[in-house]
Chain A
Amino acid sequence: MSTLSKQVMAGFDVDKVREDFPVLKQNIHGKPLVYLDSAATAQKPFAVIDAIRRFHEVDCANIHRGVHELSQRSTAAYEETRIKARRFLNSRSKDELIFVRGTTEGINLVTNSWGRRNVKAGDEVIISAMEHHSNIVPWQMLCEENGAKLRVIPMNERGELLMEEYEKLLNPRTRMVAVTHVSNALGTINPVRQIIQMAHQAGALTLIDGAQAAPHMKVDLQALDADFYTFSGHKVCGPTGIGILYGKSALLNAMPPYQGGGDMIKVVTFEKTTYADLPYKFEAGTPNIAGGIGLGAALDYVTQLNIDQIAAYEHALLAYGTQALSAIPGLRLIGTAREKASVLSFVMEGIHPHDIGTLLDRQGIAVRTGHHCAQPVMDFFNVPATTRALAFYNTFGEIDALVAGLHKVKEVFA
């Protein structure tokens, strides 16, 4: 099958999409850039770049403050993103969506605000064996501080969570189940709907790390019924330093503020401060206004491409990549879950991932190597891995380039 017909088969005009991403049109070390590191950060389309520039050129002012025209424009554009995010995630209300720096801050907000008040000595928090450090360390810190116990859902060799083991971990002391929707290192799509239901039956709350899910699949918060859900803008083609934390309004209302400062108050006297209503109670200080506006443009962009189409195209890429990589002698795929998003992690016999990474870079191919901020995952498989995370702007031809690149790597180490 020709490369062209594969793309047509997938029903997605990738060449047209690539025109939207200026960064992709360059050579690295004399070769066309093949960017396969989208799990770390996704590239930005003109729509996002232009929105950020326009804000700085035309509308720049602080938000929620001035009565002047620029401040009102800035405020409107920034708040518009909350409305777009509500549609993107199908939450009940835009006021349940809090702007944060990213997934990491979203989780830390929950552990600090909700966790410190609600997780007590002897309580338990459940995470999974495939969490990113950002969904391990904050819970670990909380448990250490409050004398609670951190428990871990194990996984099998394919990189799938053992649901029967999860069921055994749940008990009346379980306060929180915090798991990732999609694993950054393995690509596994976890059955979060079921995980959430089981947690709720046990009387526990749930937090879902959506950093790798939001860019690749439709997220429906009302259908999921997660108590907290968080993702980073930069993995959905938005800028860095901006993300969203969703929380059910009853929970958010009962939680103390995360940080104090301007914008999160109603009335301040030296005796007492009355906090602002949701979502502003959790948004102290001047936020990342340009980032928020850029995120709005990114959500528009992805929505207009159609997230279901994106998912279908990426799935075709993943299937093609899985087959092509499996055919390379001495290559072992890490993470072979039956439900998988477009992440391909692997090791090559006798060749360290960092050497693979450097040798591929010299051929213009950008991949992630090392522990992927998921050291426990790497320890489980006893390897540091090389990962290429595919995005909707990648092509079948780029996978061919990767395969050719890996053959060259093998030649060097032959």
Chain B
Amino acid sequence: MVHDLYQEIILDHSKRPRNCHSMPDATRQADGYNPLCGDKLKLFVKVENDIVVDVSFVGSGCAISTASASLMTESLKGKTREEALKLLEKFHELLTTDTAISQDLGKLVVFCGVRDYPARVKCATLAWHTLKSALTAELTEPVSTE
């Protein structure tokens, strides 16, 4: 029926989200809120020498937004900030355009079904928008604070 959207891996990550905890030693954090659904998310990022060494989140949301946050945290570790932001762009393309699916997305391709549900794109991108505000806000900070 809707297994194109609710793929097994998405259901799995929504029921058992990975990296779902707060992070006292995060170097950056940001809040995401989707007023349409009431989904709320707090994202913690630890950046060291421009590398994302750890990411976690807490919050409440639908299966799509929870799974998206969970899979995002898994896919970011070890990436530079620039690589992380590039991945965000590719993820956004995956959801909103008909372009060929980028190989760089790895497991994140499971979200390609969201394309057919325009009303749910915001659910899938909430964590990523929050990531952007966490990472780009950091760019304005003096490098020495890291």
Q: Mark B56-72, 1 if CB is under 8 A from A, else 0.
A: 00000111100000000
Let me know if B117 and A358 touch, CB within 8 A: yes
Let me know if B117 and A354 touch, CB within 8 A: no
Please pick, from B5, B61, B63, B120, the residue contacting A413 in the complex, using a CB distance under 8 A: B63
Query: Which chain B residue has the least Cβ–Cβ distance from A363?
Result: B1
Cβ < 8 Å to A, chain B residues 12-50 = 15, 35-38
Measured CA separation A354–B62 after assembly (Å): 6
Measured CA separation A133–B6 after assembly (Å): 33
Which of A350, A355, A413: most chain B CB closer than 10 A?
A355
Interfacial chain B residues near A355, Cβ < 8 Å: 6, 62-64
Please pick, from A352, A363, A371, A378, the residue contacting B62 in the complex, using a CB distance under 8 A: A352
Please pick, from A354, A359, A363, A413, the residue contacting B37 in the complex, using a CB distance under 8 A: A354
Please pick, from A352, A358, A371, the residue contacting B2 in the complex, using a CB distance under 8 A: A358
Let me know if A354 and B6 touch, CB within 8 A: no
Interfacial chain B residues near A362, Cβ < 8 Å: 1-2
Interfacial chain B residues near A351, Cβ < 8 Å: 63
Please pick, from B11, B37, B123, the residue contacting A412 in the complex, using a CB distance under 8 A: B11
Please pick, from A363, A375, A412, the residue contacting B6 in the complex, using a CB distance under 8 A: A412
Please pick, from A350, A353, A358, the residue contacting B120 in the complex, using a CB distance under 8 A: A358
A154 interfacial by beta-carbon distance below 8 Å:
no
Asked whether A371 and B38 contact (CB < 8 A) given A352-B61, A358-B120, the answer is yes
A384 interfacial by beta-carbon distance below 8 Å:
yes
Interfacial chain A residues near B120, Cβ < 8 Å: 354, 358
Q: Is chain B's binding surface mostly helix, strand, loop or mixed?
A: loop
Interfacial chain A residues near B117, Cβ < 8 Å: 358
Q: Mark B73-102, 1 if CB is under 8 A from A, else 0.
A: 000000000000000000000000000000
Measured CA separation A352–B61 after assembly (Å): 7
The bracket for how many chain A residues form the interface is: 10 to 19
Query: Which chain B residue has the least Cβ–Cβ distance from A362?
Result: B2
Asked whether A359 and B2 contact (CB < 8 A) given A352-B61, A354-B62, A354-B120, the answer is yes
Cβ < 8 Å to B, chain A residues 335-355 = 350-355
Interfacial chain B residues near A376, Cβ < 8 Å: none
Measured CA separation A125–B38 after assembly (Å): 28
Q: Mark B111-146, 1 if CB is under 8 A from A, else 0.
A: 000000101100100000000000000000000000
How many residues on chain B are close to A (CB under 8 Å)? 18
Let me know if A352 and B63 touch, CB within 8 A: yes
A408 interfacial by beta-carbon distance below 8 Å:
yes
Let me know if B63 and A378 touch, CB within 8 A: no
Let me know if A384 and B38 touch, CB within 8 A: yes
B115 CB to nearest A CB, Å: 13
Measured CA separation A146–B2 after assembly (Å): 52
Interfacial chain A residues near B123, Cβ < 8 Å: 354
Let me know if B36 and A370 touch, CB within 8 A: yes
A378 CB to nearest B CB, Å: 7
Measured CA separation A344–B64 after assembly (Å): 25
Let me know if A358 and B5 touch, CB within 8 A: yes
Which of B1, B11, B62: most chain A CB closer than 10 A?
B62
Interfacial chain A residues near B119, Cβ < 8 Å: 358
Measured CA separation A214–B130 after assembly (Å): 42
Which of A350, A354, A359, A408: most chain B CB closer than 10 A?
A354
Cβ < 8 Å to B, chain A residues 370-406 = 370-371, 375, 378, 384
Let me know if A408 and B11 touch, CB within 8 A: no
A290 CB to nearest B CB, Å: 29
Measured CA separation A412–B36 after assembly (Å): 23
Measured CA separation A362–B15 after assembly (Å): 21
Measured CA separation A352–B120 after assembly (Å): 13
A350 CB to nearest B CB, Å: 8
Measured CA separation A369–B36 after assembly (Å): 9
Interfacial chain B residues near A358, Cβ < 8 Å: 2, 5, 117, 119-120
Interfacial chain B residues near A384, Cβ < 8 Å: 37-38
A375 CB to nearest B CB, Å: 8
A45 CB to nearest B CB, Å: 27
Let me know if A370 and B37 touch, CB within 8 A: yes
Query: Which chain A residue has the least Cβ–Cβ distance from B35?
Result: A371
A362 CB to nearest B CB, Å: 5
The 9 lowest CB-CB distance pairs between A and B, nearest first, are A352-B62, A384-B38, A354-B62, A362-B2, A355-B63, A355-B62, A354-B37, A371-B38, A412-B6
**Chain B: residues with CB nearer than 8 A to chain A?**
1-2, 5-6, 11, 15, 35-38, 61-64, 117, 119-120, 123
**Chain A: residues with CB nearer than 8 A to chain B?**
350-355, 358-359, 362-363, 369-371, 375, 378, 384, 408, 412-413
For this complex, 24 residue pairs linking A to B, each with C-beta atoms less than 8 Å apart, are: A351-B63, A352-B61, A352-B63, A353-B62, A354-B62, A354-B64, A354-B120, A354-B123, A355-B6, A355-B64, A358-B2, A358-B119, A362-B2, A363-B1, A370-B36, A370-B37, A371-B38, A375-B38, A378-B38, A384-B37, A408-B1, A412-B2, A413-B11, A413-B63
Beyond A358-B120, A363-B1: 12 further Cβ-contacts under 8 Å? Answer: A350-B15, A352-B37, A352-B61, A353-B62, A354-B64, A354-B120, A355-B6, A358-B117, A359-B1, A369-B37, A370-B38, A371-B38
